[in-house]
Amino acid sequence: MLLKVKSLNLIAGKPIAILHQNTAKKLAVYVAERVRIKNKNNGLPITATVDIAKGILKEGEIALSSEILKGLSVKEGDLVEVNFAQKPSSTYYILKKLNGEKLSQEEFNAI
């Protein structure tokens, strides 16, 4: 989904993306889940943690932390491509181990 960047001068110390609640519903993402954000003109995507707001954003807008703005070389008004990001497979392997199950060498290496 293409979204318009809105700058809130947010310095989070990590990649944070704030979505309008209706946009989040369309992407099927919830607070603390992850999205992949890509400058539609260049570069590699950045994975960010999601927060959801109403009132400070319009539907179709995304507020990005300064870490993402800098990393993607985007500014207010630019369009970015945003998609749901799956959890890394290592997350499931850690849960498996916490449940007392044995890990394969491949699973162990993924962690």
Nearby residues of 39 by Cβ (< 8 Å), 6 or more positions away? 72, 73, 74, 78, 80
Q: For residue 13, is pLDDT > 90? A: yes
Taking only the tens place, the pLDDT of each residue in 49-84 is: 999 998 999 999 999 999 999 999 999 999 999 999
The pTM (predicted TM-score) of the whole model is: 0.81
Taking only the tens place, the pLDDT of each residue in 102-111 is: 999 988 888 8
Give the distance from CA 72 to its chain's centroid. 13
Provide the 8-state DSSP code for 11: -
